[in-house]
Amino acid sequence: MGIPTREPREGERYSPQFRMYTSDAECGLLRIQYHCFEAGSALPELMRTVPHAAFKVSGSKARRCCSARTNRSTAFASRIQDGEAPVELIETTLTDEQIWRRAESGNQASMYRQE
């Protein structure tokens, strides 16, 4: 689940590519990220303003609109709209644990690296 916010949060990672900050919620059962966007972010307004579900999929036929490479694994995220709700489909070879442990370990996806 991705939730747009305007409040800074501890442990945020910055993506210069998308002009957004991301932080992980401290939930045990749910995987929730908070996203705070700067003015001029190229992401669609719907993604910047409405909470969205995110699903890990394989063989996604949805249009791939962004990519990030980390640990020799590639992740493609497609953003689609279902009625009035935005949905994110993530195609990756990373396991769920690898995806969520990156924030804890500091091994960030390239979209968050300050180079």
pLDDT tens, residue by residue, 21-51:
998 888 878 889 999 999 999 888 888 999 9
Helix ranges, 31-105 (H): 45-49, 96-105
- Domain residues of the chain, as ranges? 2-105
Q: What is the mean pLDDT of residues 86-107?
A: 72
Residues 71, 76, 82, 84: what is their CA dihedral angle, to the nearest 10 degrees? Answer: 80
Q: Report pTM.
A: 0.71
Helix ranges, 1-115 (H): 45-49, 96-105
Q: What is the mean pLDDT of residues 14-23?
A: 90
CB burial string 95-109: b at 16+ within 10 A, e below? eeeebeebbeeeebb
